[in-house]
Amino acid sequence: MINRIVESAIQNQCLSVASEGLICQVVRSRMCSPKDLEALQDLVEGIDRGEILRESKGQMSQWVQSVRAIPA
């Protein structure tokens, strides 16, 4: 599921509030595979580079901070 969300965000150049909420739920449940974590790292890098916009104008979610903490 994470891969589909990330692919959609990359294609649309936007991460929707709903998609970000789903990502939060999956990350909180600790149901992420190594491939999911790689996809999330790609997503965060795209957000950081300004290639993917977040629909939410609030602070970056906890999952983003968690992904940033993963060693490359």
Q: What is the mean pLDDT of residues 30-40?
A: 86
Give me the percent of the chain exceeding a pLDDT of 70.
82
Q: How confident is the model at residue 70 (pLDDT cuts 50, 70, 90)?
A: low
Q: What is the pTM of this model?
A: 0.81
Please give the tally of structural domains in the chain. 1
Q: What is the mean pLDDT of residues 3-12?
A: 94
Q: Which amino acid is at 60?
A: M
Q: Which of 10, 41, 48 is nearest to 27 (CA)?
A: 41
| Furthest-apart CA atoms within the chain: distance in Å | 28
Structural domain span for residue 60: 2-68
